[in-house]
Structure 1
Amino acid sequence: MNHKVKVAIIGPGNIGTDLMFKVMRNSKHLEMGAMVGVDPTSDGLARAARLGVATTADGIEGLLKLEVFKDIDIVFDATSAGAHKAHNEVLQAHSVQVIDLTPAAIGPYVIPAINLEAENATNMNMVTCGGQATIPMVAAVSRVAKVHYAEIVASISSKSAGPGTRANIDEFTETTRSAIEKLGGASRGKAIIILNPAEPPLIMRDTVFVLSEIAEREAIEASIAKMVLDVQAYVPGYRLKQKVQFDTIPADQPINVPGLGLMHGLKTSVFLEVEGAAHYLPSYAGNLDIMTSAAMTCGDMMARRRIASGIARGKETV
């Protein structure tokens, strides 16, 4: 018998629907319990219903009224930062594990390649798509040398940016910046997102600039290569676009870093692309795929812990 735990997804948009397909196809310890929305005409709700998943268009209150709610162990929230605060309060009152795919950042930031096993909070935040893609590279440099400053630029197709993403642009930049410092180890961080309207749609591309203390370039390259493999374990379409580049900023020609002043050291430039698995979304939407892949990885880990501790409410399934 393979013990699995039931999950609910709040937000039947692109991210929520893609996550549903990942749970149903690839998860080791999760099974779908419910899909929750607020629009009765939602395509995501309709797809869930056709797949035999319980649905409600009455939001969080509707979830509480579903018969299956008593068996729900984990809820993924794929709505908005504002809505998540209210959702989290309700779910915490019912002792439900929450995995937050919005930039609300109520709980600790989690990027599977960096700190998945180290966190055990009742609310875990998946940072942002740009954060999931780029912060592992900052952390890889931090393993070798002290990072003074890190700047990331995430470029995604306009078609892969739905209403939720567009409504959370400010939260995206602030949450990503904060996580660059907390998880990436940078003294100062900056995040930029670009919505590219090009046709045909472009794949997600990310650029990471890191200013660190002088260190062996080979050691940094090796750390980055190892981190890429760690991310590829759950996002196969994650890869370096070209060789890592280095520039030395000499002490007699320092650059001005806002908030830090004149700095010198080693500049590391990393260029990435993220191709989606196309479970539901097109392959160019790597920005959404890396979020749902990271969230499912986190969910699987939390489910494994709940099963091992004997507190899972789900039923055994073959």
Structure 2
Amino acid sequence: MLNTAVLGTGLLALDLVERIQNSPHLHCGLVVGRSPDSIGLSKAAAMGCATAAGSITALADSEETFDIVFDVTNAVAHPEHSARLAGTGSTVINLTPSNIGTLIVPAVNGDQAAAHRHISLASCGGQTSIPVLHTIAQHYATLHVEMVATAATRSVGRASRLNLDEYIETTQYAIQQFTEADTVKTMLNISPASPPPRFRSAMTILAPGAEPEPVRKLVKSAAETMRSFVPGFHVASCAVTNDTIRVAVEVTATRTNMPVHAGNLEVISAAAIHTAEQHALARPSAMKENAR
């Protein structure tokens, strides 16, 4: 079982804590926040976790050794965090859109996660759209991709709002890396609608030769893979017209303590845990146990 630390105390961080506690391969050794008065720290303590205030300094000064550190803070802070953790031996899983670390999307290259010590999960929009886009790009030359993500304002916290530029840039980069599209454009809408809308990713792909039925089968296959660890993932629409593919997917949060509109948080939380568990399963002790 790997010892983990969670750096951050927002809704996403607390969902990670709950997932870690429910994982047979992970242990939550510490949850770290900025302020001792943090509501998130109080909630983490009530969940039975050791907590500390002081952000990265408190984590670096801890006498414990952590196999994995989840950074759930913000893109501006992550470079300092990664630098201070570099000599600790911890694997860093970056949930901020800072674009530092090896890009991992579990539904596409999750089997490579255990080989890397600094992992970037890009963004919630990237984790939602890339499995579909990559599947299409494996069968059709992709000339251009546009992805518009829509998130409810209630599911976009302060750190995310500070990172909008980084979110756009990192998501565009990740989509280009996984599709090899000539050009990529990404946008993010933060919707104040009431009731809050579910997280949505609308994709437009220019792919010469694309045909409706084969594309629908590809999209269906990608969705089934995603649902294996994100149950609320579903395809809202899929159409092909004149070499242009339009796909919209939505993610409904299914976690007990997560509002249904917060699919953006659920998808990246699931990706983070999947990635951490791949590290745990790759340890020699786990491999011996599985062989019995």
TM-score by length of 2: 0.94
Distance 1:277 1:90 in 2: 35
Q: CA deviation at 1:307?
A: 4.6
Partner residue of 2:139? 144
Distance 1:38 1:164 in 2: 13
1:20 to 13, 17, 22: 17
2:33 to 29, 37, 56: 37
Distance 2:259 2:82 in 1: 30
Pick closer, same or farther for the CA change 1:241–1:73 going to 2, 3 Å.
same
Aligned Cα root-mean-square deviation (Å)? 1.5
- SS at the partner of 2:144? strand
Partner residue of 2:4? 7
Kindly provide the amino acid, as one letter, of the partner of residue 29 in structure 2: G
Q: CA deviation at 1:203?
A: 1.0
Partner residue of 2:120? 125
Partner residue of 2:256? 279
Q: CA deviation at 1:130?
A: 0.8
Distance 1:163 1:221 in 2: 37
Q: CA deviation at 1:273?
A: 0.7
Kindly provide the amino acid, as one letter, of the partner of residue 41 in structure 1: D
Kindly provide the amino acid, as one letter, of the partner of residue 294 in structure 1: A
Distance 1:184 1:15 in 2: 28
Q: CA deviation at 1:309?
A: 8.0
Name stretches of at least 5 consecutive residues in structure 2 with no aligned partner: 288-292
2:219 to 209, 219, 224: 224
1:53 to 38, 43, 49: 49
Distance 2:203 2:232 in 1: 18
Partner residue of 2:100? 106
Contact 1:21 1:280 in 2 (8 A): no
Count how many residue pairs are aligned between Structure 1 and Structure 2.
Answer: 286
Larger radius of gyration: 1
Distance 1:159 1:307 in 2: 42
Partner residue of 2:69? 75
Distance 1:283 1:28 in 2: 26
Distance 1:307 1:5 in 2: 12
Q: Deviations over 1:97-130 (max 9, x none)?
A: 0000001111121110011113422110011011
Distance 2:179 2:286 in 1: 31
Distance 1:306 1:278 in 2: 28
Partner residue of 1:90? 84
Distance 1:246 1:306 in 2: 45
- Percent sequence identity is 32
Distance 2:273 2:139 in 1: 29
Contact 1:159 1:201 in 2 (8 A): yes
- SS at the partner of 1:53? coil
Partner residue of 2:268? 291
Name stretches of at least 5 consecutive residues in structure 1 with no aligned partner: 249-265, 311-318
Structure 2 residue 167 is the aligned partner of structure 1 residue 172: yes
Q: CA deviation at 1:308?
A: 4.7
Distance 2:76 2:283 in 1: 28
TM-score by length of 1: 0.86
